[in-house]
Structure 1
Amino acid sequence: MFRRYCAAFASAAALWSAAVAAPADQTLHVGEATRVFHPAVARYWRGAQTQALVTTIWYPADLTNPEVTHDIGAHDRPFFHGHPAAVDAPLSSARAKYPLLVLSHGTGGTADSLDWLASALAAEGYIVAGTNHPGNNAFEPMTLDGFMLWWERATDASEVLDGVLADPMLGPHVDRDRIGAVGFSLGGYTVLELAGARTNLAAFERFCASPQADAICHPPEAARIHEDPGAPALTLATLSPETKASRARAGNSYRDPRIKAVFAIAPALGEAFDSTSFADVSIPVSLLAGEADVTAPVDTNIHRIAGFMPKAKVTMVPGAAHYTFLDTCLPAGFERLATICKDNPGVDRDAIHAQTAQRAIDFFAVTLPAGGT
């Protein structure tokens, strides 16, 4: 889908890709629009500058609506390739109803950081809605509450689902029996919560205080948290009442029964789950990560999660690291964001994107079938 700026594909990855069928000929263009949802639940206590759920929608558009090339970032120096889109085009009239996927980005990212995936799904006939999680996105300072209170993201996703279903253009054309979720990194954790997984916050905090603590306890995005230099040192006693109340409900179920299948890419926070966490997960789950992921180390994240979910489909991608699953970088991105733009030698990010998108398309075709219930 995207182009250039990575090395040649390694032989192991080539073998992996050979097993994946190429996408069918595209019969739909990709439409893109923005919605700003204002749920009744206030988010001011997260400290976020933006309280609304600013949401990008990718959706099928007719071929008569031309796609316009656009990259992601500042207009004069964009950081990432973006898929061409027909901005604010009407929803395609090819079908009466379309399946819907809610999308959740990783820590400190944006919905647009998964444009490669969302646009591929939209071209296959899915409406995809991804919000920028308040207090934890790249468009404004990241806050401590936005960073720490991961389970609140599931409520964001459910409220975006509410908003899309109520949207006068999109809502009447959503097949409400075919709704799923897809997420990356902390967004992978989020969609597992939407499936019914429950967080064990105390277990995660014990792990991170132990000699076994690994990179998941110190994500690089934490350096971007905006803190008041005059604020007292953070302890349980100094947390706000709202933060304490959120922590108290960390282990609640955030299952959204409207969601019938989830696809989690490089899911994080595996140590926040235990053997009881997935007792209420009854929908199909697909887990995918790179074998070379050292940001969400595979043993304590995807493999740990998969160990608790023997029925989950698990795919490991040779050579791929954590940030391989973000948009492909342009030169300005390589200059400013080397950590997330540089892949391991022999890894072709574009090829992995195409293969991963096809994995997601194939998974949802089976788990959200047309005419299904």
Structure 2
Amino acid sequence: MRFLALWLILFAAPQFARADDAVLKVGVTTRDFVPAEPYDWRGAATHALRVMIWYPAVAEAREQPQSIGPRLIPFARAGRAAPDAAPAVGPRRPLVLLSHGFGGTASDLAWLGVGLAAHGFIAVAVNHPGNNQLEDYTVEGFALMWLRAVDLSAIIDAMRADGTFGDRLDPARIGAAGHSLGGYTVLAIAGGITDPARTEAFCRSPAADALCTAQAGVSDLRRKSQLRLGSDPDFRQRYSLAGNSYRDERVRAVFAMAPGPGPALTPESLGGISIPVAMVTGSADEVAPPASGAEALGKAMPHAALTEFPRAGHFVFFDTCTAVGRLVIGAVCRDPDGIDREAVHAETIGLALDFFTANLR
């Protein structure tokens, strides 16, 4: 079973405050947003951006345990939230966009969405077309990874126009957070520019690490991508747009968890990122090792802060798995000995809250 194979405030005037003692009820809902055409759907069958939204709910909302997988035997726990609860009345809220990893889903980051919403944020996670668990992966969804940043920009537009949330969010306070390829995505929307050849060169060099081994898991998609580059002029033209900037000036701060593939982003563009960046990673990351991932990225960005969790692996930033999930999903649910995934989540939520509270002013 494919499951994330590879490749996270309250308004205060005049000041922001984290207000840990003011935990709010959390609501959760879904939307299918359809951007104006033409839109590059990357070969996906569904021509809509399917999202999950977590938000502060009214005090009388009845939260319920949320999960991933079959209802009776779920694979992972996704926090507590009240489905389709009425949003809380109050000031305009900061918005944080969430981007899942390679082949994942919006619900993979439910733990973070719930944590942010409980402290006054609206968090929205998108299923990236052609590269999510709900449908077959596509060559375009694999190869045109920089278009994930376009998805996030489209979600900003859609949320601002939404009848329920548009008037409840503050367009001047927008951030983004992502895991794995989602970490790459938020760095791209912050101004990082992609050069796919850099990853290929890295994996041929003496510095090659587990990032390159992890990429072997998508060898069929890579082979088909190379064939398309040689035979399909339209695909070749779309691929040539990798070097464009996908910076969205509305995004004021980004939070990247175990970001990868780091080598794909050019050092010059990373050095030019002017908004605050925070990253978290595990020292034992087996998919996006810190040496070529978060650590290298941190050195290249002038406004980046990095927190490393000793002995933690790549998938520690995925939802907390059940016993069934550990049997069915395998590596995504397994952590090195001594790692408490829920404790890492709690600390990461705290870091994200502090970061966005300080930087979405």
- TM-score normalized with structure 1 length: 0.87
Letter of the aligned partner of 1:80 in structure 2?
A
Structure 1 position 154 matched with structure 2 position 149: yes
Structure 1 residue 245: Cα displacement: 1.8
Residue 334 of structure 1 corresponds to 326
Aligned equivalents of 1:106, 1:169: Cα separation in 2: 28
User: Which residues of 2 match residues 193-204 of structure 1 at below 5 A?
Assistant: 193-204=188-199
Residues 200 and 277 in structure 1, CA contact (< 8 A), matched pair in contact too: no
1:187 corresponds to 2:182: yes
Question: In percent, how many aligned pairs have the same letter?
Answer: 44
Unmatched segments (≥5 aa) in structure 1? 1-21
Match of 1:3 in 2: none
Q: CA deviation at 1:269?
A: 1.3
Please list, as runs of the form range in 1=range in 2, the aligned pairs for 1:200-349 lying within 5 A after superposition: 200-219=195-214, 222-223=217-218, 234=227, 236-238=229-231, 240-349=232-341
* Aligned with 1:353 (options 342, 345, 349): 345
The CA distance in 2 between the partners of 1:227 and 1:262, in whole Å, is 29
- Secondary structure, counterpart of 1:288 in structure 2: strand
Give the conservation status (yes or no) of the 8 Å contact 1:27–1:63: no
CA RMSD of aligned residues (A): 2.2
Amino acid at match of 2:65: T
Residue 117 of structure 2 aligns with which residue?
Answer: 122
Instruction: Check the 8 A contact 2:315/2:333 in 1, yes or no.
Output: yes
Query: Which stretch has the larger CA shift, 271-280 or 50-59?
Result: 271-280
Give 3-state SS (helix, strand or coil) of 1:287's partner.
strand
Distance in 2 (CA, whole Å) between partners of 1:355 and 1:89 is 27
> Residues 141 and 117 (structure 1 numbering): CA distance in 2 closer, same or farther, change over 3 Å?
same
Q: Does the aligned pair in 2 maintain the 1:143–1:225 contact within 8 Å?
A: no
Tell me what 2:26 maps to: 30
C-alpha displacement of 1:204: 1.8
How far has the Cα of 1:210 moved from its partner? 3.9
TM-superposed deviation, 1:40: 2.1
Q: Deviations over 1:76-110 (max 9, x none)?
A: 321001211111111111x2210001110000111
Matched residue, 1:4: none
Which residue of the other structure, out of 66, 70, 81, is the alignment partner of 2:66? Answer: 70
Asked if residue 169 in structure 1 is aligned to residue 164 in structure 2, the reply is: yes
Describe the superposition over 1:230-261 as per-residue Cα deviations: whole angstroms up to 9, x where unpaired: x89826312x3332122211011100010100
| Partner residue of 1:132 out of 113, 120, 127 | 127
**Quick check: 1:48 aligned with 2:44?**
yes
- Alignment pair present for 1:90 and 2:82: no
How far the C-alpha of 1:307 sits from its partner, in A, is 1.2
Look up the SS of the partner of 1:83 in the other structure. Answer: strand
- Structure 1 CA distance for aligned equivalents of residues 275 and 41 of structure 2: 33
Count of residue pairs brought into register by the alignment = 344
The worse-fitting range, judged by mean Cα deviation, of 67-76 and 296-305 is: 67-76
SS state at 2:55 partner = strand
For 2:137 and 2:131, the matched residues in 1 are separated by 5
For structure 2, the 5+ residue unaligned runs are: 1-17
